[in-house]
Amino acid sequence: MNAITPINNAANFLRRAEGLSAPGWAVALRAAGRDALAARGMPTRRAEAFKYTDLAPVLNAGFVAPTGSRNVPPMPAQRGRARLVFVDGVLRGDLSTLPPRPLSDMAAVLGALTTPDTQPITALNASFAEDGLVLEIPAGEDAGLVELLSIVTDGAIAFHPRHIIRLGAGAKLALLDTAQGADGIAYLHNPVFEVSLAEGATLAHVRVQAEGRAAFHLSSVHAAIGAGATYDNFTLNAGGRIARNEIHAALNGAQGACHMNGAQLGTDGQVVDTTTVLHHAAPDCASRQTYKTVLKGRARGVFQGKIFVAQVAQRTDGYQMNQALLLSEDAEMDSKPQLEIYADDVKCSHGATVGALDAEQLFYLRARGIPADEARAMLVEAFLTEAVDGVANEECRAALDEAVRSWWAREA
Binding positions for other proteins, rule: CB under 8 A: 1, 48, 311, 314, 324, 326-356, 358-361, 363-372, 374-375, 378-379, 381-386
Query: Are 169 and 138 a contacting pair, CB within 8 Å?
Result: no
Q: How far is CA 50 from the centre of its chain?
A: 16
Nearer to other proteins, 195 or 326 (CB): 326
Nearer to other proteins, 72 or 392 (CB): 392
Q: Whole-number minimum distance, CB 161 to other proteins, in Å? A: 33
Partner residues linked to 10 by β-bridges = none
Nearer to other proteins, 7 or 367 (CB): 367
Nearer to other proteins, 105 or 364 (CB): 364
Q: Whole-number minimum distance, CB 14 to other proteins, in Å? A: 28
Query: Are 388 and 401 a contacting pair, CB within 8 Å?
Result: yes
* Residue 95: other Cβ atoms inside 10 A: 18
Nearer to other proteins, 74 or 368 (CB): 368
Closest residue by Cα to residue 336 from 354, 355, 318: 354
Q: Whole-number minimum distance, CB 297 to other proteins, in Å? A: 11
Q: Whole-number minimum distance, CB 294 to other proteins, in Å? A: 12
- Give the β-pairing of 230-237 and 161-167: unpaired
Alpha-carbon gap, residue 186 to 212, rounded angstroms: 8
Nearer to other proteins, 74 or 369 (CB): 369
Query: Are 301 and 355 a contacting pair, CB within 8 Å?
Result: no
Quickly list H helices, 4-102: 11-18, 27-40, 56-60
Q: Give the single-character DSSP code of 149.
A: E
Q: Whole-number minimum distance, CB 9 to other proteins, in Å? A: 22
Query: Are 217 and 189 a contacting pair, CB within 8 Å?
Result: yes
Q: Whole-number minimum distance, CB 374 to other proteins, in Å? A: 7
Closest residue by Cα to residue 292 from 387, 359, 205: 387
